[in-house]
Amino acid sequence: MESTFDIGGIGVAIFIWALGSLLVGFAGMNRKGGFLRAFLISLILSPLAGIFLTVGGGQKNPIGCRHCGNAENEAEYCGVCGKNEEGFTSAMKQSSHVKIAE
Ligand SMILES: [Zn+2]
Protein backbone atom coordinates (compact mmCIF):
# COMPACT_ATOMS: atom_id res chain seq x y z
CA MET A 1 0.00 0.00 0.00
CA GLU A 2 1.53 3.21 -1.07
CA SER A 3 -0.48 6.16 -0.01
CA THR A 4 0.88 9.63 -0.13
CA PHE A 5 -0.68 12.60 1.46
CA ASP A 6 -2.08 15.05 -0.97
CA ILE A 7 -0.04 17.98 0.26
CA GLY A 8 -1.33 20.25 -2.44
CA GLY A 9 -4.95 19.63 -1.46
CA ILE A 10 -4.24 20.19 2.21
CA GLY A 11 -2.32 23.36 1.41
CA VAL A 12 -5.25 24.71 -0.56
CA ALA A 13 -7.65 23.81 2.24
CA ILE A 14 -5.50 25.57 4.83
CA PHE A 15 -5.18 28.57 2.54
CA ILE A 16 -8.94 28.81 2.06
CA TRP A 17 -9.46 28.33 5.81
CA ALA A 18 -7.01 31.12 6.65
CA LEU A 19 -8.39 33.38 3.95
CA GLY A 20 -11.93 32.78 5.19
CA SER A 21 -10.84 33.56 8.75
CA LEU A 22 -9.22 36.74 7.55
CA LEU A 23 -12.42 37.80 5.78
CA VAL A 24 -14.49 37.04 8.87
CA GLY A 25 -11.98 39.09 10.85
CA PHE A 26 -12.50 42.06 8.58
CA ALA A 27 -16.25 41.58 8.69
CA GLY A 28 -16.08 41.53 12.48
CA MET A 29 -13.92 44.62 12.77
CA ASN A 30 -16.73 46.86 13.93
CA ARG A 31 -18.26 44.13 16.05
CA LYS A 32 -17.73 43.30 19.69
CA GLY A 33 -14.14 42.10 20.12
CA GLY A 34 -13.06 43.46 16.77
CA PHE A 35 -10.89 41.92 14.12
CA LEU A 36 -8.72 39.72 16.33
CA ARG A 37 -11.58 37.99 18.12
CA ALA A 38 -13.43 37.27 14.91
CA PHE A 39 -10.24 36.09 13.23
CA LEU A 40 -9.24 33.77 16.08
CA ILE A 41 -12.69 32.25 16.43
CA SER A 42 -12.70 31.53 12.71
CA LEU A 43 -9.21 30.10 12.78
CA ILE A 44 -9.81 27.84 15.79
CA LEU A 45 -13.38 26.75 15.12
CA SER A 46 -14.07 27.46 11.47
CA PRO A 47 -14.71 30.49 9.29
CA LEU A 48 -18.37 29.50 9.15
CA ALA A 49 -18.62 29.41 12.94
CA GLY A 50 -16.77 32.72 13.04
CA ILE A 51 -19.37 34.34 10.84
CA PHE A 52 -22.20 33.15 13.05
CA LEU A 53 -20.50 34.02 16.32
CA THR A 54 -19.15 37.44 15.43
CA VAL A 55 -21.06 38.89 12.51
CA GLY A 56 -24.37 37.05 12.53
CA GLY A 57 -25.03 36.97 16.24
CA GLY A 58 -24.41 39.41 19.02
CA GLN A 59 -25.26 42.92 18.10
CA LYS A 60 -22.53 45.40 18.82
CA ASN A 61 -24.54 48.20 20.27
CA PRO A 62 -28.29 47.98 20.05
CA ILE A 63 -29.54 51.50 20.49
CA GLY A 64 -33.01 50.33 21.38
CA CYS A 65 -36.13 52.34 20.80
CA ARG A 66 -37.49 54.76 23.35
CA HIS A 67 -40.85 55.03 21.64
CA CYS A 68 -42.03 51.44 21.85
CA GLY A 69 -39.46 49.87 24.18
CA ASN A 70 -37.89 47.63 21.53
CA ALA A 71 -34.51 47.11 23.20
CA GLU A 72 -33.11 44.99 20.37
CA ASN A 73 -33.27 47.72 17.80
CA GLU A 74 -29.96 48.39 16.08
CA ALA A 75 -31.06 50.24 12.97
CA GLU A 76 -31.63 53.95 12.69
CA TYR A 77 -35.33 53.36 12.36
CA CYS A 78 -36.98 51.02 14.81
CA GLY A 79 -38.10 47.72 13.33
CA VAL A 80 -41.23 47.66 15.47
CA CYS A 81 -42.65 51.19 15.33
CA GLY A 82 -40.50 52.61 12.48
CA LYS A 83 -39.35 55.70 14.38
CA ASN A 84 -35.84 56.99 14.84
CA GLU A 85 -34.51 58.65 17.95
CA GLU A 86 -36.29 61.93 17.25
CA GLY A 87 -39.55 60.16 16.59
CA PHE A 88 -39.49 60.54 12.84
CA THR A 89 -40.26 57.68 10.52
CA SER A 90 -38.19 57.22 7.37
CA ALA A 91 -41.15 58.35 5.28
CA MET A 92 -41.33 61.59 7.27
CA LYS A 93 -37.66 62.27 6.84
CA GLN A 94 -37.83 61.86 3.08
CA SER A 95 -40.11 64.84 2.76
CA SER A 96 -38.01 67.65 4.15
CA HIS A 97 -40.68 70.07 5.32
CA VAL A 98 -42.87 67.93 7.48
CA LYS A 99 -44.00 69.20 10.81
CA ILE A 100 -44.78 66.72 13.50
CA ALA A 101 -47.97 67.29 15.37
CA GLU A 102 -48.30 65.11 18.39
ZN1 LIG B 1 -39.86 51.48 18.33
Quote the pTM value: 0.49
The rounded Å distance from CA 56 to ligand 1 centre is 22
* Cβ(92)–Cβ(62) below 8 Å: no
Average pLDDT over residues 44-69: 80
Centroid of ligand 1 to alpha carbon of 93 (angstroms): 16
Whole-number pLDDT of residue 22: 96
- In angstroms, what is the span from residue 68 Cα to ligand 1's centroid? 4
Residues with CB under 5 A from ligand 1 (ion): 65, 67-68, 70, 78, 80-81
Q: For residue 81, give the amino acid letter.
A: C
Residue pLDDT, tens place only, 2-20: 556 667 888 899 999 999 9
